[in-house]
Every structure is written in structure tokens, then in C-alpha cells.
A and B are shown apart, each in its own frame.
Chain A
Amino acid sequence: MLVPLSYNLRSLFVRKSATLLTVLGIGATVAIVSGILALKQGFATMFTAGGRDDVAVFLRPGATSEGDSQFSRDRGLELIKTVPEIATGEHGPIASMEAYLAVLLSPVRGGVTNVPLRGVQPMTFELRKNELHIVEGRNFAPGSDELIVGKRLVGRIQHCAIGETIVLNKTPFKVVGVFEHPGQFGGEIWGDLDRLLTAMNRYGPNRIVAQLKPGTVIGSVDPKDVLTNDTPPEPKPGSMAARLEHDPSVPAKVYSEKEYLASQTVMLTGILGGLSFILGLIMGLAAVFTATNTMLSAIAARTHEIGILLATGFRPFPIFLSFLFESLVIGLVGGVVGCLMALPFNGLKAGTMNMQTFTEMAFAFRVTWQVLLSAVIFSLVLGLLGGAWPAWRAARLKPTEALRGRA
């Protein structure tokens, strides 16, 4: 026969202060872990949203990101014309050369930061028609000294508002529009490729993006291998990626956009994942100790009651379950409190440096239901681990001694 659950729930109320302190302690631990998970989630969403399978990213062979990739304008053009897998629309191949550069700008909060600046060709907007939207003002006119800014920069970086002027090297550019994009572009500044190349004294684009014909298989290397393998991995033999890597006229490294973005985020995702794991483990250990203390003390104070339970015929195993349940309740309530503490972070804007291109990345905390679920599971594990040993001790008490009040 099981011990009635109400016995444990009422006991928690009797020892209000100890229960409350333990719940809050677990809550603080859970809040921190879910905060970091929310940061990781926000970061992952920012980078992978808009990462498409049907868009190819061409880099120079050996390049690790668009920051250190470089093509001459002629070669870029040749690549767009000659790669047969690139899809063609009404106005020719759906492909664009892109220049990418970090520029030093001032955040509103002060200091300086590197903001990604991207020079694009008109075909880009055909390529991105379903994901990128101008939400304010208008698009820049091709060939003009005009810029559009990602919505996530507005209010965070100085001069990122319609009508303002951003001076790039010595050329003033006018901000004429604000655009929204769920992925990384939403934190960038865009302008005309050739105007930006001229203003920045650059001779060519950094990468080429293109829409692929349906059913094209790229066969590029797994981005994770690039960071974990000892030697650079090779693309699958016979694939499009392998052919282009050794192309005699324009050699290029090709990824799908999704894979390219994954290759850029492997490191920070790993760091955030590792951080939440290590902090969760270390702080979780401390929280388990606290829960154990609370439960041991609860059991010590109730030795007499346990004696009565045993004397009235309850078996040790139901008593074990009963105290484990009590500890799980503490863990669960702590988890819910922790989630409540973490919720206000949802949507909070964060900015940090992309270690691969040294540019500012703007993203937001995202407290998703997955984050909350992991937090609650984490708190239940804490309760379980904290309660196991005390509950076992309670179950092992001898009825006569327990009735006499000796633990």
C-alpha cells in the first residue's frame, strides 16, 4: 500500500522556510541553465533560419568563411555563367556576387563594434524574395550610394535609421530602407556591390550565392568535420563539390547555404552547449547537495512519524517512494520557479562577436518550449538525485527505534 501523497504535500507546508529556500535555490540554478539554453536557441535560430538547401554558397578553395574568401569580378562572373547547376530565371541565372566586410561603427551604448556590410547584386532580391522583406522605406537603387539596414541594427547601432548617413571610408551613403530577415542578414547593412567595392577600394567580391536547379546534390564536406578532423575533409568523389574544387578555370569550394551557416556556428554553438552543460553539472551538484540536506533534515524531524507509518503496516518501499515523491515535488516547483525567472529574458537582444569573422552578431534570447521542457526535466533530476539517499535512509529505519525518535 502506498503512503497517501497528501502526507508529503502537507509536510512541505509545515516546513515552509526550508521548502521555500530549497525551491528558490533549485530555481536559481534552473534559471541560469535555461538562460544559457535560451541564448543558444536564439543564436541557432538566428543562423539557421533562412539557411536554405537549394541555395549554394561558393567560396575560394581553402577559405574558411566569406571573410577570408575572395574572387576577382571576372572570375565570379565566369563561375555564374558556367556552372550548369545554377537555376535560370527570366533575367538570367539566379545568382549574385557578394562583397562582405566588417566596418567599424558605434553602438548606441558607446564603444565600437564591427558590423557586417554586404554588397549585393539585384538578383539577390529575386533569390531572397520569400525571406527578405523591406519593412520601412524602400530598397536601394542599383548603382547608387544608398544602403538598407537590417531591422535588428535599428536602435542598437548609431545612424542606422532612414534618412541618416553612414560614411564608409570617405564616401557618404544614405540609409533609405529597413529590411527584415529571420537569419543573419537581419543584423547586416546592405548596399550595391560595385558602389561598395569602389568606396572600400576592393577589387572583387568575397563569395557567390546562387539558386540551384531542383534536385541538385552538392556533396560537400560535413561542416562539423572541418573543425573536428585533424586533416581537412574532402568532398564526395564525383560530386558537384569535388568537380568545382579542382575546376581549371574557376576553382571554388561549394556548400549549401544551410551547411555554410552550420560551418560558421559550429564553434559558438559548441561553446554555449558546453557552457550550459558544465554550469548545469556544477551548479546542479550544489543544488542536489542542498536538496539532500533539506530532505535529511525533514526526515530527521519526522523520525517519529516514520515510526508510526512503519508500525501501522506500511512497507519500507512505499516509504522510500513517498519521500522520493516529496523531493520530486520540491524539484518540480523549483523548476517552475526557475522557468518563471527565465521567461522575462525571452526576446532580450544580445550582441557578441563572431569568432570566425570578428563581426558583431545580433540575436535574441529565445525561451522556447524545448528550453522550458529541458529546464523542468533538469529540475526533476535534481529533485530525484537529492531525495534518493534521504528516502533510502527513511525506508531503512527500524520501527521501534524510529518510534523512540532515534534516527
Chain B
Amino acid sequence: MIRMFHVYKNYPNKIQALRDINIHIKKGEFVFLVGPTGAGKTTFLKLIYRGIVPTKGQVIVDGINIARLKPGYIPYLRRNIGIVFQDFKLLYDRTVYENISFGLKAIGATNFEIRQQVKKVLNLVGLEHKKKIKPHLLSGGEQQKLCIARAIANEPLILLTDEPTGNLDPYTSWEIMKLLFHINIRGTTIIMASHDKLMIDKAKKRVVRVERGRVIEDTQRGTY
């Protein structure tokens, strides 16, 4: 599903964010991306959704070389990738329902499809009864669930999550994790950047450790 060959990423201020990354993530895998702040985790995720292009090397996502992708095709790549951010990135002037329907409308879904899909994902994350309220009235955990619902609404092949449990209490974090496992079981490849030792140790999934821009450890059923 995702392959990286000798990938380097330098930022304009000469910071080497990633150095010689080689990785293969198969379809349906659940991968934790761990490492200290500034290790290059977010850069790694950005390369996958083509938020940036590599300075050197190849990134192949679902058979597409993202460095060679013309700007006009980026939206179509992103329709196969759901993204969940630590800071939620929700639209606070719209309802829970509109936050999801807005993304679906953006990719050309019909009104009927939108109604069906929004209902389905809200049921999945347990927010169906709150669809008419605005996100600022939701708790942190609920807002994160809404983010996940928005990210999976168009049934993407890949779900990227950047520290989704970063601001949540352990109980809510585990709820989010269970939700992500559930989505993973249904076939979505998930890459989750995280610092959450407790969750990672409990999950027993593949752990890729990044430090100073390099992959220094890649273990199946790893720990933090």
C-alpha cells in the first residue's frame, strides 16, 4: 500500500527532517509511528498525503509515485486517504453533521449518498444523537471521534492519524483506539503517530521508531 525508497526530506532552513527512509506498509496493516518530538513523524505522514514532496527518493502510495503527481491529481490521491489531526481541525461554525457532509460534498457525493454515509459513520463513532449540535459543545474525545468519522466517511484505503489521543484522558484514549482497531479490521490501513506508551504497549501492533529523521527500529508486535 505504501512504499518508501531512500527517502530524504530537507526543509529550507537546512533541517534534515527525514534521512534514507525505506519502508513497506502492506494493505490492512496497523502501524504505530513513534519517536520524540521533532523526530520526523509528521513529515513522514505529510509525504503520504502529498502535503510535501521528498527531496530525494520515491514515495509510492497505492501504486502512485507522489513526487511525480501533478497538482491537479492531488485531490484524487487524498480521496483515498483519511487524516485525523491532534488539533482536530473541525469547522466550529457548522454542526457535527455538516462537518462530515461538507467533506463528502467536496468529493462529489450525491445528497442521498451523503445522508447514508454520514448516518453510518456517526453511528460507528457513537455521535448520531449529537449530529445537530456544533463541535464546541462536544468533549475532547467526542471531537476526536468526529474527526475520525469525517476521515473515514468516504471509506479511504489509508487512515493517517497524528497523535489522536495526545490531549485525551486514558479512558477516552482507549475508546479512540478501539474505534481505530475496528476501522482497521474492516480493511483500512492505519498509520498512527503517537507518544502514548500505554496504548502502544497494549495494542501489540507493528511499531516503527523514528529518531533524528531515521528509522531506527521496525518491530512487528512492538512496544514503545
Do A and B assemble together?
no
* Residue positions of B touching A, CB distance < 8 A: none
Binding site for B on A (CB under 8 A): none
